[in-house]
Chains A and B, each alone.
Chain A
Amino acid sequence: MYDYENSPEPELIRRAKRGDVKAFSQLYARIYKDLYKFALYMTRHTQDAEDAVSETILSAYENISSLRKEDSFRSWMFTILNNRCKRMLRTGRKETLQQDDGFPSGSRQEGHEPDYAQWHDVRRAFGELDEEERMIVAFSVFGGYRSEEIGQMLDKNAATVRSKKCRALEKMRSALI
C-alpha cells in the first residue's frame, strides 16, 4: 500500500497525472480549507464558493496533465479557483442578490451551521473592499502568497500590491474593531 499521506508533492503529482485519484485527493486534502475560504471571501456567498471549488476540483483533475512543474499544485489550484471566482463575479451570478444575506438558504449544510456572528464580522470587513483588494487579501491570507507573487499574477509591481494590501488591511481593521 502506497503511503499517500507522507508522500512528497512531486510524487503525488506524478501519480495524479496518471489518474491516481487517491494521490489527487491527498494533494487536495492539504489545501482544501484554504481553497474554500478563499472562494468564500472572494464571492461572498457560500453556494458560489462551493460551486467554484467543485468546478476547480473537476477542472484540475481533468487537466492535471497540464500542470507544469514550476507551478506548485497549491498555486495552480488557486489560479484556477481565482479564475472561477472572477468569472462568477463578472457574470454577476448571484452576488447582487446576496449582498446582505450570504448564507446558504437550502438544507445543504444541515448540521454545519456556521458561526453567524463571526462570519458577519469578517464578511463585513471584506465587504469594505473592492474586488481587487479582496483578491489581494484573499491570496495573501488564504493562499499564502507574497506580494511579489500576487503582483506577477495581476501584472502589477510588488510595491503597488504591497500598498494596496496595506490599505485594504487598514480598512478591514477599522471594520473589525
Chain B
Amino acid sequence: MDKNENRNIDEREAAMEEKLRDLTGDTQIPPSLEPGAVEKMLQEKKKEKAKKYRWRYAGIAAAACLCLVVGVTAAVTQRAGSSGDPHLSGSAQADADSGETGSSDSGGMSRIASAKDYDQIYAYLQANQKQLEKQARMYSDDGASDTMDLAAANSASQESTADTGSFGSAVSPDESAGSSTGSGYSDTNVREEGIGEADMVKTDGENLYILNGKKVEIVSIASDDMQELAAITVDEDSYIRELYVEGSRLAVLYTRSEYTKEDGFEIRSRDYTCTDVYDITDASAPVKLNTITQSGFYNTMRVKDGYAYVLSSFQVEQAAPRDDIGAYVPSVQGSTLDADRIYMPESQMGSEYTVITAFSLAEPQEQTDSRAVFGNAGLCYVSGTSIYVTEACYDEAQADVTQTAIRKVSYQDGQLEGVAQAKVDGTLNDSFSIDEYNGYLRLVTTVESGNIAVPINGLSADSTEEEDVSTNSLYVLDEALELTGEITDLAKDERVYSARFLGDTGYFVTFRQIDPLFSVDLSNPAEPKIIGELKIPGFSEYLHPYGEGQLLGIGMDVDEEGVTTEGVKLSMFNISDPSNVTEASKLVLENMYGTDVAYNYKSVFVDVEKNLFGFRAYGSQSDVYYIFSYDAAEGFKEVFSREQTGYGETRGLYAGEKFYLIAGNTIESYTLAGFEKIDDIVLGSIEPIAME
C-alpha cells in the first residue's frame, strides 16, 4: 500500500466516523440520564446514605456514646499518669485480646471482636440488606425505580472496582530517602520503607518483569540488546493486576471471575484474588509452584521477611440465602474462614470484607494464616508490624461529622492477629495521611459536617454553600489505638491534599487558595504541636523526603483566585528547621494539567542518591515522562523528557548504568549518565508458557 492509498483510507474512515456522529447527533437521551436528573439522584443517594448511618446506629447510640466518653477518659487518665513516657501503651495492647469472640456489644471501644459464628455475620448482613431495601423503596417513591436498583449498583461497583484499578489505594513506607536500596537497581517507590510492594513493573537487576495486558513478560537486560525470555499468562476471565519479584520468586497477582450458570445463562460471578508463585531460578523457564486463592477482588499486597500478605476486597452477595455460606463468608484456598478469624464491625452491619492471607514466598504450598475484617472495606495502610484497615462512616448519633473507623491487625512471619479498633473524626486523603512510628499511629484527617444540603431542585446554585464546611485534625493513637493526643480545627474550609510523616515531625498540605504546608512536632505523642505554616500558591499532591533537610513536593500551580490550575508545579522545601520551612526552589511545567503522582505513588521514580526523580505528566497535546535533578544552587533541572502516546501508565527504573522506560508493551533503554538512547523493544513476540 502506498502512502496516498493509506491516506485515502484514513480519510474515508474519518468521513465515515463523522457521518456516524452526524447521524446519531440528535439521539434522544432518556430524561433520567440528563445531568440535572443525575445530580438530583446522586444528592438523594448521598442523603439516604446519611440517613442510613443514622438509622444504623440509632439502636446502640446511647451505648456507643458512653463507650466513646469512657475511651477518651481512659486515655486522658493514662496520659496524665505517664506523661512524657512515649511507651505508655504497652499494657493496653495486652488488654486487647482478639481471641475473645463475640464481644462486640459490650467490649471497650478499642477492643477488636471476632465473630461468634456465621449466624452473627448473617444477622449483620441482613441488617445491612434491610437498610438497602429501605433505600431502594425511597428511591422508587421518587419515581426513579430501577435505575436505583442497589443490588445492581452493587454488583456494578464490584465489577468496576476490579476493572479500574487501585481500590482505595494501598499503603505504606516512609522516610525512604528514595527508592535506592544501595543495590544496583531501583525498586518500586513504596509507602513504607523496607516493606515490599507489587507493581506493574519490577526488576532484579538482571531482568525486567513487566505486566503487559494479559501477560507477564520477562525481559533480559544483561546486555545492551534487550531480549524477551519468557511470558506467563493466566486463564480466561482473569485480569492480572500486579506482580512482585524477590530472589528466585515471581508472584503474579490477579483477579479471577467465576460465573455461575443457571438455565444456560451466566447469572452471577464471584471474584477471587489469586497469587501464582513461580520459581524463576531459570528466568527463561519459570516454573509455577502454587496458586493461593482468596475471595474478593485484588486490593494490594506487601512482603516482609519472605512472607507475602495479600489483601482482597470481598463484597457479599445481596440476598444471599442463609445456607449459601460461600456467598457471605470469604474463603481461602477453597475453605471458608472460621468465624473466629473474622473481625466484626462495631456498627453491627456490614457488606464487605478485607481478606488478608499470608504465605511464604519460598514455600507457597499453603497459606500460613488468614483473617478477614468485616464491615465496609476502605483504605488500608501497612506499617512494619501492622495492617490497618480503615473505613469511612457516618453516624449522626455519635458525631455530626464523617468519621474513620480503624482496625488494626498485627503481622509477623506469616502470622496475623487482630489487635484493636478505634474511630476518629474526619476522613483520610490517602495512605500517607496515616502513619505508624514508635508504636504510635498518627493520622491527619479532613473533617466535614455530615449535614449534607440537598437542593430542592438538583440544579439549585446555592446548594454548595453548606457542603463545604470542613476543618482538619491530627490524631495520635497509642498501640491499643487509644487517643493519646490531638489537634483539631485546623485550616477551616480547606482540605488535606498531601501528607508525609518523617519520624517525629509531620508535614501536611491543605488547600483552598494558597498552599499552607504545616509542620507538626510529634515528639511528645500526648501533645502534638503545629510548629510551622508555610503559605505559597498552589498545592502539593505528593511529598517525598529528598535528602538531608529537603522535602520534594509535586503538585499543581494555581492562579491567585484559586480557581484555575496553571500547570504542574515542583517545589523543594527546606525543612532543616521544621518550624521555619521555606520553599527553596520551584518549577512550573506550564502546559501540563496533571500527573499520576497523587493517585499512585508507585508511578514515581525517585532516587535521592542518584539525584533523579521522574513521573508522567498530562499535557493538552500529549503526555510527557519527565526526569529532573535538583541542585540547591541551580534549582530543578530537567534531564530527560519523552513524549508518551497511548493509554496507561509509564514506569521508569534503573538497573546498573542504564535507565529503562516502560510504557504499555514498549521498553526503551538509556544511559543513566546522559540519557542517551541505547535500545528499544516491543513486547509480544513470545508465546506464553503453557498453562497446566
Contact = CB atoms under 8 A, between A and B. Distances in A.
Contact of B163 (A11, A83, A155): A83
A54 B166 contact: no
A80 B163 contact: yes
Interface string A14-33: 00001111101110110011
Which of A40, A59, A119 neighbours the largest number of chain B CB atoms within 10 Å of its CB?
A59
B645 A148 contact: yes
A137 interface: yes
A28 B38 contact: yes
B280 to A, nearest CB: 23
A153 interface: yes
A112 B128 CA distance: 38
A99 interface: no
Contacts of B289: none
Please report whether the interface of chain A is mostly helix, strand, loop or mixed according to DSSP: helix
Given A63-B157, A92-B265, A148-B647, A36 B27 contact: yes
Nearest to B649: A70
Interface stretch (B13-21, B60-68, B329-337): B13-21
B692 interface: no
B42 interface: yes
Interface string A57-76: 11111110111111100011
Contacts of A65: 168-169
A122 B16 contact: no
Contacts of A128: none
Size bracket of the A interface: 35 or more
Nearest to B159: A83
B266 A157 contact: no
B597 interface: yes
B457 interface: no
B600 interface: yes
Contact of B160 (A60, A114, A149): A60
Interface stretch (B146-154, B178-186, B382-390, B628-636): B146-154
Given A122-B24, A155-B214, A66 B564 contact: no
A54 B565 CA distance: 31
Contacts of A19: 46, 448
A86 B467 CA distance: 37
B28 A112 contact: yes
Interface in B591-624: 593-600, 603, 616, 618
Interface string B477-504: 0000000000000000001000000000
B537 to A, nearest CB: 15
A130 B28 CA distance: 24
A152 B156 contact: no
Which of B42, B43, B161 neighbours the largest number of chain A CB atoms within 10 Å of its CB?
B42
B647 A75 contact: yes
A87 B259 CA distance: 11
Which of B13, B31, B448 neighbours the largest number of chain A CB atoms within 10 Å of its CB?
B13
B164 interface: yes
Contacts of B495: 18
Contacts of B19: 176
A118 interface: yes
B43 A59 contact: no
B17 A68 contact: no
B45 interface: yes
Which of B24, B152, B265, B596 neighbours the largest number of chain A CB atoms within 10 Å of its CB?
B24
B228 to A, nearest CB: 15
Contact of A152 (B38, B160, B664): B664
Contact of B146 (A6, A25, A32, A51): A51
B556 interface: yes
Which of B16, B36, B448 neighbours the largest number of chain A CB atoms within 10 Å of its CB?
B16
A95 interface: no
A21 B39 contact: yes
Nearest to A162: B13
B213 interface: yes
B646 A141 contact: no
B647 A55 contact: no
Contacts of A173: 16
Interface stretch (B87-95, B354-362, B458-466): B458-466
Contact of B165 (A68, A92, A112): A68
A109 B648 CA distance: 38
Nearest to A115: B26
B23 A121 contact: yes
A112 B27 CA distance: 10
A55 B648 CA distance: 24
A69 B599 contact: yes
Contact of B35 (A9, A20, A32, A56): A32
B674 interface: no
Nearest to B564: A8
Size bracket of the B interface: 35 or more
A11 B565 contact: yes
A63 B31 contact: no
A115 B27 CA distance: 8
Contacts of A137: 20
B266 A90 contact: yes
Given A1-B461, A32-B33, A51-B147, A91 B267 contact: yes
B563 interface: yes
B29 interface: yes
A32 B600 contact: no
A109 B163 contact: no
A37 B27 contact: yes
Contact of B595 (A6, A69, A125): A69
B9 interface: yes
Which of A24, A60, A61, A148 neighbours the largest number of chain B CB atoms within 10 Å of its CB?
A61
Contacts of B99: none
B684 interface: yes
Contact of A66 (B33, B161, B565): B161
Contacts of A146: 646
B53 to A, nearest CB: 13
B160 A68 contact: no
A161 interface: no
Which of A10, A53, A92, A148 neighbours the largest number of chain B CB atoms within 10 Å of its CB?
A10
Nearest to A110: B31
B353 interface: no
A38 to B, nearest CB: 10
Contact of A80 (B160, B598, B599, B684): B160
Contacts of A141: 17, 20-21, 24
A63 B160 contact: yes
Contacts of A125: 20
B157 A58 contact: yes
B647 A6 contact: no
Contacts of A118: 23
B156 A84 contact: yes
23 contacts: A1-B465, A11-B565, A20-B467, A24-B39, A29-B35, A50-B147, A54-B32, A55-B153, A59-B156, A60-B160, A63-B157, A66-B161, A66-B166, A66-B167, A67-B599, A68-B165, A69-B598, A70-B616, A71-B164, A79-B163, A80-B156, A84-B159, A152-B648
Closest 6 CB pairs of A and B: A25-B39, A54-B147, A69-B596, A69-B599, A29-B35, A59-B156
Given A63-B161, A142-B21, 19 more contacts: A25-B39, A33-B29, A36-B27, A41-B24, A50-B32, A51-B146, A55-B152, A55-B156, A65-B169, A66-B164, A68-B166, A69-B600, A69-B603, A109-B28, A115-B26, A119-B27, A141-B20, A153-B647, A169-B16
